[in-house]
Amino acid sequence: MQSRFRQGLALHRQGDLAAAERIYLDVLQREPQHFDSLHMLAVIALQTGRTRRGIELLRKAIALNEKVAAAHNNLGKALMDLGRPEQALASFDRALALDQNFAEACVNHGNALVALRRSEQALASYAKAIDLQPDYAEAHRNCGNVFSKLRRHDEAFAAYDKVFALRPDLMGAEGHRLYAKMHFCDWSNWEAECAHLVASVRSGLVNTQPFIFLAVPSSCEDQLQCARTWVAQNFPPAKNPVWHGERYDHDRIRVAYLSADFRQHALSFLTAGMFECHDKSRFEITGVSFGVDDNSEIRARLKASFERFVDVRSHSDQEIADLLKSLEIDIAVDLMGFTTDSRTGIFARRPAPIQVQYMGYPGTMAAQYIDYMVADRMVIPEHHKPHYSERIAFLPDSYFVNDTRRPIADKAFTRAELGLPETGFVFCCFNSNHKITPPVFDGWMRILRQVEGSVLWLLQDNAKAADNLRKEAHARGVDAARLIFAPRMPPPEHLARHRAADLFLDTLPYNAHTTASDALWAGLPVLTCLGETFVGRVAASLLNAVGLPELVTTTSEQYERLAIELATTNQKLAAIRAKLADNRLATPLFDAGLFTAHIEAAYTAMHARHQAGLPPDHIIISK
């Protein structure tokens, strides 16, 4: 039997899973307690997406011989696939008890700890794997991922730099390395490294996660190529989709919103009003949450806004897809795209007849199973449509949803309390530091040199970034003391402190999105420069919807000139601030009810096409 088993194992290693499976079954037919055949049969089940069957076979194998570390390791990986990190951790512990030098099990042990949000312990597990196998690129990469989540960006860069040295073609490695570097504003070789990453994408390498790539100067075509390659490698369409072409006959259109961010997160603060405003007589609204329950006030508000709220953290992608199918969801809305903790695999299984991506990811997903993307004419102009795989549902005004119940603290901060000088013009930008690029910073320093006594107020994202930005200011002939860094605050206080600033300066190629909305909601004018891709056109969308198109510039020279003019012409800036104050609650940007009516019109049009047997097509919603 062992000779016959080795034949199967050889075929297995060659990738002929079907032939290997037949041999393993043949061996087990003759010798039902043949551990190796049972174990490898389980591995094939896992490799072919039959996770539950794999777990069943692994448990049978372990019952025959509980002393094989690899079996426990494989069981742990299968349990992780089902979203059961606590059970998986126990399996990895058992594997390591049997073989303390099992580097792969150390990495998997760390992965389970990450899923359980035990970051420091995860780092220790990865470090042990690296001690055992110093060239273990995946272990270094996973260290970098944890450091990034902890905002320890310089340590993340060191880990990714090691990965890139070991295996420059490892999936996502090049992008993660550059992204970490951008987060602490280390601009050494910036242009060359950005150009190299773009060239990697154009050559078809899977060298960067698409969300990371959005922050790199690139074209719509490049972003489409990046997403297409990523999806093909990681989230291809399921061979056996969950939805089989049925057309449901419901009294109301059933819409499900899926996200890991139904918690203290910008997405929740922005969308809460929309969920509450949905017309429940025409739409049945379900929230599907696969993120942490932080017991926050905003999560409680979200749960109350949905007719049905389902916590599926412990469910696999397949189980969630099956759930959506059982609920006969008409329209499944992905609020995440390729952002952190997203679950694109759910949509790859096609659980709903209409699948939409909205709000979370500002770019194409290049996935054939995402039918529509919600946008507007500013973020996706007509000539950009060919670079999106989705059909576009164009909303009037802005695609960007806002909630008018976002509280602004009553506290009137003094300049001294915020670390600002008592006099002088205050430019500010509370964007994440990675959005600050050398060309943008060059422009800001030219503006400061022209506006005497002015300061630039930035978000204090991490200490290393602040140090580097001060050095860059000094190198450009600007006193580093003119850069003031704002520590993080709770949202109501953060909104309130905007009142101490005079003008918000936007970034390129990645605009302010939520941060621009925050500024405008707090009454602070935003000056932007129109970019070439979706991420660089969002602030213009917001400004048009709030009636301030005069703050949208189209060249860096125009942007700098207008910033200087507004800072040195009190009457002009005062007029714009007054206009914003008048428009804030009188224009579409902060009208959640109007916005919801528009997106419902888009959903209705999508549904009508499907019910008529028509394929998805571009949709234009008029005012």
Burial class (CB in 10 A: 0-12, 13-18, 19+), 546: buried
The answer to whether 291 and 317 are in contact (CB under 8 A) is no
Is residue 310 situated within a structural domain?
yes
The residue among 200, 215, 239 that closes a domain is: 239
Are the beta carbons of 267 and 341 closer than 8 angstroms? no
The H helix count followed by the E strand count for the chain is 26, 14
Strand ranges (E), 363-491: 372-376, 391-395, 426-429, 455-459, 483-486
**CA pair distance 30, 20, nearest whole angstrom:** 16
**Residue that is last in its domain, among 239, 262, 286:** 239
Same domain, 421 and 569: yes
> What pLDDT, on the 0 to 100 scale, is given for residue 606?
98
Give the pLDDT confidence score for residue 2 in this predicted structure: 79
- The stretches of 526-615 forming alpha helices (DSSP H) are 538-545, 556-568, 570-583, 592-611
Strand order in the sheet with 483-486: 483-486, 455-459, 426-429, 503-505, 526-529, 552-553
202/312 same-domain check: no
Q: Is residue 57 part of a domain?
A: no
Cα 402 to Cα 545: distance, rounded to the nearest angstrom: 11
Residue for token digits 């490695």?
173
Report yes or no on 421 lying in a domain: yes
| 357 and 400 in a common domain | yes
pTM of the model: 0.93
Instruction: Say whether both 360 and 268 belong to one domain.
Output: yes
Q: Show contacts of 369-374: CB within 8 Å, 24+ apart.
A: 369/237, 369/241, 370/334, 371/606, 371/616, 372/602, 372/606, 372/616, 372/619, 374/399, 374/599, 374/602
Does 247 map to a domain? Answer: no
Q: Are residues 345 and 456 in the same domain?
A: no
pLDDT at position 314, please? 82
Residue 182: the pLDDT is 98
DSSP assignment letter at 284:
E
Residues 173 and 287 in one domain: no
Question: Which domain does 261 fall in, by range?
Answer: 253-404+596-620
- State the CATH number of the domain containing residue 348: 3.40.50.11380
Q: Are residues 207 and 338 in the same domain?
A: no
CATH number of the structural domain spanning residue 440: 3.40.50.2000
Number of other CB atoms surrounding residue 167 within 10 Å: 16
CATH number at residue 219: 1.25.40
Q: Is residue 11 in a domain?
A: no
- Asked whether residue 167 is assigned to any structural domain, the reply reads yes
**498 lies in some domain:** yes
The total number of structural domains in the chain stands at: 3
Q: What is the 3-state secondary structure (H, E, C) of 348-366?
A: HCCCCCEEEECCCCCCCCC
- Shared domain for 479 and 537, answered yes or no, is yes
Which of 205, 239, 273 is a domain's end point? 239
Contact 229, 297 (CB under 8 A): no
Q: Which residues of the chain have pLDDT under 50?
A: none
Domain co-membership, 437 together with 583: yes
Do 519 and 387 share a domain, yes or no?
A: no
Contacts of 554 (CB under 8 A, 6+ apart): 529, 530
Is the residue at 13 inside a domain? no
Q: Any residues with CB less than 8 A from the CB of 146 and at least 6 apart, and which? A: 110, 114, 119, 122, 123, 126
Is residue 516 within 8 A of residue 526, CB to CB? The reply is yes
Whether 384 and 278 share a structural domain: yes
- On whether both 497 and 540 belong to a single domain, the answer is yes
